[in-house]
Amino acid sequence: MVTTIHLLLDRSMRVVASRGVVEGCRTRRIALAGLLCLTLASVAHAEVIDKVAHLRAVLRETRFVAYTPTDFAVVNGQARPASTARITQDLAQLRPDFSGLITYSCANGVEQVPAVAARLGYRALILGVWDPTSKVEVDTAVALARRYPGLVIGIALGNETLLAKRLPWPVLRHALEQLRVALPDVAVTTSEPFYYYLLDDTPGFLDAQDFLLPSVHPLYQPWFKGSTVETDVDFVVEVLGKLAARTDKPILVKETGLPSGPQDLGFTTEHQTLFWRLLSKRVSADEKRAIAYFEAFDQPWKAENARAEFGLHSEEGHWGLYDAQGRSKPALRTLRDIWRLSK
């Protein structure tokens, strides 16, 4: 089985890849300048160590879920904003099972999440910024991180921004650099499919991030159709191992899983449940790596919204651990049993 997974991963990677006194004074000034530079560099390095060390501790102790408010939607390119009331309802429902949140935006009402999360006692929040070139959205994220310094542990600029070709890498990298200057105590990253982290096609990609926030979806690999759930889980574990071997930065898998529908495409609640049951037994969160649960609630609008960039994917509306009506799915109920037994 291990040999099979190595072959599947290699195949997936190949597919992606195809795509005197005076002089003495002067010398002393140079030496002092050099010492000052070294001191400043050491301070900067210490800041990086502090925020990354904090993030490592949070990874070990926090159960993250990817969250989009249930009344937020994008229809025909127009955003329907999220409300404070619905965010409060959603986060109250999620809090017994999860203590960390990952969001995708700081606009259209989603910027209210940190305030609600703080009131409800969430431990950690990674703020998403959908448009890294939006001054308003980035400034909002910076303000929120400063307002909730004990809660906001990271900011992710963009979600599959390079994959969808919304921005070129030099622009995204510059945005990451600017954000790090604005928030030296907050870990900064972006989020792309796993192969961006394993290939060397994007110069400086890993160096530009304080921690890794990849997606690892078996579903979108060329061998997926007809695979078993066990093979899908093996693939995720193998990718996570390769990522950990490539960097010593903390890794939090932002997205993985299987959707629960549509059934006519072969997606079922049973397969989704088995995936999370097997993966939860194979990967335990520690200071090096963890896996977030993707995602909190079904978002039916995502199926059509994805069409322009990726084509129609009906399964996009079925990733939740809760359905669109807020009812828990079998996968979540099974996970609760596993979590209870692991205490």
At 152, is the secondary structure helix, strand, or coil?
A: strand
Task: Point out the residues of the chain with pLDDT beneath 50.
Answer: 19-47
Q: Going by DSSP bridges, is the β-strand pair 289-291/78-80 parallel, antiparallel, or unpaired?
A: unpaired
**How far separated are the first and last CA of the chain, in Å rounded?**
31
pLDDT at 306: 80
In a domain, 210, yes or no: yes
Report the distance separating Cα 337 and Cα 119, nearest Å. 27
DSSP state of 215: B
Taking Cα atoms as reference points, which of 284, 287, 224, 213 lies closest to residue 255? 213
pLDDT at 265: 94
pLDDT at 3: 54
In a domain, 316, yes or no: yes
In a domain, 180, yes or no: yes
DSSP state of 201: S
pLDDT at 338: 96
pLDDT at 2: 55
CATH assignment at residue 320: 3.20.20.80
pLDDT at 232: 98
In a domain, 10, yes or no: no
In a domain, 75, yes or no: no
In a domain, 7, yes or no: no
pLDDT at 8: 65
Element containing residue 289 per DSSP (H, E): strand 289-291
pLDDT at 30: 32
In a domain, 83, yes or no: no
pLDDT at 309: 82
Name the CA dihedral angle for 177, 179, 182, 183, rounded to a multiple of 10 degrees: -110
Buried b (16+ CB within 10 A) or exposed e, 285-320: beeebbbbbbbbbbbbbbbbbbeeeeeebbbbbbbb
The domain total for the chain is: 1
**CB 131, CB 109: distance < 8 Å:** no
pTM of the model: 0.90
In which domain, by residue range, is 240 found? Answer: 20-64+125-341
In a domain, 193, yes or no: yes
Give residue-wise pLDDT tens across range 162-203.
Answer: 999 999 999 999 999 999 999 999 999 999 999 999 999 999
